[in-house]
Amino acid sequence: MAGLTKSEFANPVINWIDTRLPIFTMLQKEYGVFPTPKNFNYFWNFGALAMVCLAIMIITGIFLAMNYQPNTELAFNSIQHIMRDVNYGWLLRYVHQNGASMFFIVTYIHIFRGLYYGSYKTPRELLWMLGVVILLVMMATAFMGYVLPWGQMSYWGATVITNLFSAFPVVGPKIVTLLWGGFSVDNPTLNRFFALHYLLPFVLVGVVFLHIAALHITGSNNPLGIDVKSPQDTLPFHPYYTIKDSVGICVFLIVWAIFVFFVPHTLGDPNNFIPANPLQTPADIVPEWYFLPYYAILRSVPNKLLGVCMMFGSLIVLFVLPWLDTSRVRSARFRPIYRQLIWVWVLSFVVLGYCGMHKPEGIYVVLSRVATLYYFLHFLVILPILGKLERPLPLPESISQPVLRGRGGGPLPGSATAKPMEKA
Amino acid sequence: MADSSAAAAHHAAPGHGPSGDVTKRDLLQLIATAGAVIGAGAIAWPLIDSMNPSKDVLALSSVDVDLAPVIEGQGITIVWQGKPIFVRHRTAAEIKEAQDTPLGQLIQPQADSARVKAGHDQWIILVGICTHLGCVPLGNKPSDPRGDYGGWFCPCHGSQYDTSGRVRHGPAPANLALPPYAFESDTKIKVG
């Protein structure tokens, strides 16, 4: 439908633009008055935090790329050049390097929020699946970014991860040669990884846009997991949640800054201070912490192909989670058994991460196998059955109701309870 | 941000008085905005400054040149800050020609003595970049075309320079620039 927009903005310049391209009206609708459930807790900050991460990573990354050389002869030294010679290069690099960890911690908490409060359930299945796509693209981006400094861990990480594809029968080795552009990880590999590491964040921006577009169709979930019943259950996004997000962003940036300015190498591996040597594998090959749980799943399976499939499967299973969980109650708050089992799942994820740090010997083999077993049991067996067996607690009638009646609020002045308030 | 729109103005906060009144909230808003602007500037500066010359580039800011091997009539080209620097050992005839040129004939009048170091008349040191559009003029090698004035000739648009590096024929608007340099001994200079 063609036609000019009738803009309500008083400023003549904004009005002129808005009439022709209603971005201001859109912003006002989606981020100004957008009706948002009024009972968010701080778990609902983490989507915004992830966006902040993405923006900071892209900006610092662009400036780093201006000084980086994607060539096996030059890459390692160009990083040292950035650290020593480029003005504020150390700052850009530490922000970017630690930013990867910050991005993952924020994203993992964001995903946990979704799992705990049932944000993946109807009608938000597609929103959730777009989120899983974001996670996968993020992982690919992080992996390729880690290769760029061309240290020992970069090189051997790249070798191990690309070799995962060799597990597939018949075509496996051909795929690996294709990924490498040669017969080992070498200059062509580094070149394409740099090209893709620069490209994928912008793909992420696109998928994040779809993620948010879908969110603004379904509306946000909330800690009670029940639908918004009336305008009384909501607040305009601005200023209520712009402020709440700002508080979270400030705290988050402080944490990030502590890593950047005081312990910039704590999350990294000392082996990456050694230039890549294709003839010598370091004694301990360990991925970055955010990949450890998947790495542990891979190593817990004695069969090569099966291990690779389980590792990828641990992520792919998230795509079908909305259909595996048969319970119609979203929030774990009203699911007495799920509320405990989700923590068992978190424990299995943490145990996997812990096992991933250690050599697969003795107790760590047993632990990682048990944790892997529970990881999959939780999704594939427990969730489908639990939905049928579990007796959920009674749900509140509306988001407002427990606030007004139950939780120590006492009687409210007037009779605000059931009267629909006037709100934009 | 929302306060800049009419739509949001309807939600105007209760702290606001009738239009025109300055309230405590306006002050807080100004302080918050100013804080955000300062913060944004503090974040932007490292990003912008990272594009300035890095320390290794700045370290190349001076070059030592040994003049001993350059015989009379010969010119050499050295690199300083990525730019060609012409070092020419002028013959007595070339020096005389440069010194005797009446300033009135010049596009940018400048005496030859102002373009060489006192006592080192035979050495003319120039930034070898045409002042028109940045090409490198020919003429440093004796076999190059040197134009009508025996100095340098720019192949791009035909500008001509004399033996003092002064422009004698357009389109170049100015004489060849002089790099900062000093004689460390009679046969050694430091450029930069």
Nearest Cα residue in chain A from B4 = A11
Predicted local confidence at residue A285, as pLDDT: 84
Mutate to test the interface with A, among B47, B50, B57 (most CBs of A within 10 A): B50
**How far apart, in whole angstroms, are the C-alpha atoms of residue B87 and residue B189?**
10
Identify all chain B residues contacting A91, using CB atoms and an 8 Å cutoff.
46
Nearest Cα residue in chain B from A27 = B2
Our answer to whether residue A244 is catalytic in this structure is yes
- Is A294 within 8 Å of A349 (Cβ atoms)? no
The answer to whether the CB atoms of A238 and B2 lie below 8 A apart is yes
List the single residue in A10, A33, A60 with the smallest CB-CB distance to B6.
A10
Our answer to whether residue A245 is catalytic in this structure is yes
CB-neighbour burial class of residue A153 (10 A; exposed 0-12, middle 13-18, buried 19+) = buried
pLDDT in tens, A88-107: 999 999 999 999 999 999 99
Nearest Cα residue in chain A from B12 = A239
Taking the CB of residue B184, how many other CB atoms lie within 10 A of it? Answer: 11
The answer to whether the CB atoms of B54 and A67 lie below 8 A apart is yes
pLDDT in tens, B77-135: 888 888 899 998 888 888 888 888 888 888 888 888 888 888 888 888 999 898 899 89
The answer to whether the CB atoms of B50 and A87 lie below 8 A apart is yes
Identify all chain A residues contacting B5, using CB atoms and an 8 Å cutoff.
8-11, 14, 24, 28, 32
The answer to whether the CB atoms of A10 and B2 lie below 8 A apart is no
Higher pLDDT: A403 or A177? It is: A177
List the single residue in A63, A85, A88 with the smallest CB-CB distance to B56.
A85
Our answer to whether residue A18 is catalytic in this structure is no
Nearest Cα residue in chain B from A24 = B5
Catalytic residue among A233, A245, A269, A325: A245
Query: Which contacts (CB < 8 Å, 24+ apart) does range A330-333 have?
Result: A330/A117, A330/A118, A330/A119, A330/A121, A330/A221, A330/A225, A330/A226, A331/A116, A331/A117, A331/A118, A331/A223, A331/A224, A331/A225, A331/A226, A332/A116, A332/A117, A332/A118, A333/A117, A333/A223, A333/A224, A333/A225, A333/A393
Distance (Å) from the C-alpha of residue B78 to the closest C-alpha of chain A?
25
Predicted local confidence at residue B5, as pLDDT: 43
Identify all chain A residues contacting B50, using CB atoms and an 8 Å cutoff.
63, 66-67, 86-89, 92
Predicted local confidence at residue A406, as pLDDT: 56
Identify all chain B residues contacting A241, using CB atoms and an 8 Å cutoff.
none
Residues of B with CB under 8 A from a CB of A: 1-2, 4-11, 46-47, 49-52, 54-57
Predicted local confidence at residue A61, as pLDDT: 96
3-state secondary structure of B10: coil
pLDDT in tens, A47-77: 999 999 999 999 999 999 999 999 999 999 9
Predicted local confidence at residue A250, as pLDDT: 93
Mutate to test the interface with B, among A69, A84, A87 (most CBs of B within 10 A): A87
Scan for tokens 């010969």, then name that residue.
B74
In Å, how far are A65, A69, A277 from A60, measured between CA atoms? 9, 16, 28
Distance (Å) from the C-alpha of residue A367 to the closest C-alpha of chain B?
45
pLDDT in tens, A363-395: 999 999 999 999 999 999 999 999 999 999 999
The answer to whether the CB atoms of B8 and A28 lie below 8 A apart is yes
Distance (Å) from the C-alpha of residue B99 to the closest C-alpha of chain A?
45
pLDDT in tens, A11-37: 999 999 999 999 999 999 999 999 999
**pLDDT above 70 (res A199):** yes
Residue type, A117: Y
Residues of B labelled as active-site residues? 157
The percentage of chain A sitting over the pLDDT mark of 90, rounded to a whole number, equals 83
pLDDT in tens, A348-359: 999 999 999 988
Higher pLDDT: B88 or A117? It is: A117
List the single residue in A8, A67, A92 with the smallest CB-CB distance to B46.
A92
If you average pLDDT over every residue of chain B, what do you get? 83
Residue type, A379: F
If you average pLDDT over every residue of chain A, what do you get? 92
Predicted local confidence at residue A141, as pLDDT: 97
ipTM of model: 0.77
